A and B are shown apart, each in its own frame.
Chain A
Amino acid sequence: DAMVIQNPRYQVTQFGKPVTLSCSQTLNHNVMYWYQQKSSQAPKLLFHYYDKDFNNEADTPDNFQSRRPNTSFCFLDIRSPGLGDAAMYLCATSINRDRLYEQYFGPGTRLTVT
């Protein structure tokens, strides 16, 4: 089945130690999104790629970076994780960037910062 895959499902990192989260998709969608969801809160968009075009949200901290080496893969890099970065990170895709398209979400990676 076509899907959005996130690895790992659970990630523990130390305060200040860089960490990379991975997302891959078999849907061949043009757009890939990264959301941050803290406990009992709504998901919040960090940034998205429209093909190779990177689009950062204005309030996303510089500590968060992303790479999309090809259509299928997208990575979220946290350069110096703080305790406040502990959250579920959700990757999503959509066929195109048009407002009418639904988004398909992966299962998420739960990040713990010690």
Chain B
Amino acid sequence: SQQGEEDPQALSIQEGENATMNCSYKTSINNLQWYRQNSGRGLVHLILIRSNEREKHSGRLRVTLDTSKKSSSLLITASRAADTASYFCATIAGGTSYGKLTFGQGTILTVHP
């Protein structure tokens, strides 16, 4: 069954605005990762947050994790047209012996110039 569910499914904003995407998951996790996928391309790792962390920053990205609610959010500040892509959260379940990523359905972000 799908581990991660993302919301919204699609988000359309103007350049310079902030974009927030949310991810919910069902089981306990070791860590949660966010990936970006440009149209028809492979995925690019953005950020990893461990289950004992609550917030993490990387450049214009801010990720939060609430393990009590089994949810995470990705905030992209001061968005650019080049940020247009699909964004996926992916979880690694707690207790697993290897790094199996289970992906959410993704959020399609469109940033208009």
Give the top 8 A-B pairs by smallest Cβ distance, nearest first.
A105-B42, A42-B103, A102-B45, A97-B98, A105-B43, A107-B42, A99-B30, A99-B92
At the interface, is chain B mostly helix, strand, loop or mixed? strand
Q: B60 at interface (Cβ–Cβ under 8 A)?
A: no
User: What's the least CB distance linking A8 to chain B, in Å?
Assistant: 14
Partner of B45, one of A42, A104, A108: A104
CA of A15 to CA of B15, assembled, Å: 45
Q: Which residues from chain B sit less than 8 Å from chain A, CB to CB?
A: 2, 4, 30-31, 33, 35, 40-45, 48, 50, 88, 92, 96-106
A98/B99 in contact, CB under 8 A: yes
A50/B98 in contact, CB under 8 A: yes
B-side contacts of A94, CB under 8 Å: 99
Jot down 19 A-B pairs with beta carbons below 8 A, ordered by A.
Answer: A4-B42, A6-B42, A41-B105, A42-B4, A42-B88, A42-B105, A42-B106, A43-B43, A43-B88, A44-B103, A50-B98, A99-B30, A100-B30, A100-B48, A103-B101, A105-B44, A107-B41, A108-B40, A108-B42
A-side contacts of B97, CB under 8 Å: 97
Known: A55-B98, A101-B99. 13 other contacts (CB 8 A): A4-B42, A31-B99, A42-B2, A42-B88, A42-B104, A48-B98, A88-B40, A90-B42, A98-B98, A98-B99, A103-B45, A103-B99, A108-B42
B41/A108 in contact, CB under 8 A: yes
B-side contacts of A88, CB under 8 Å: 40
A-side contacts of B45, CB under 8 Å: 102-104
Q: A81 at interface (Cβ–Cβ under 8 A)?
A: no
CA of A48 to CA of B102, assembled, Å: 14
CA of A50 to CA of B30, assembled, Å: 20
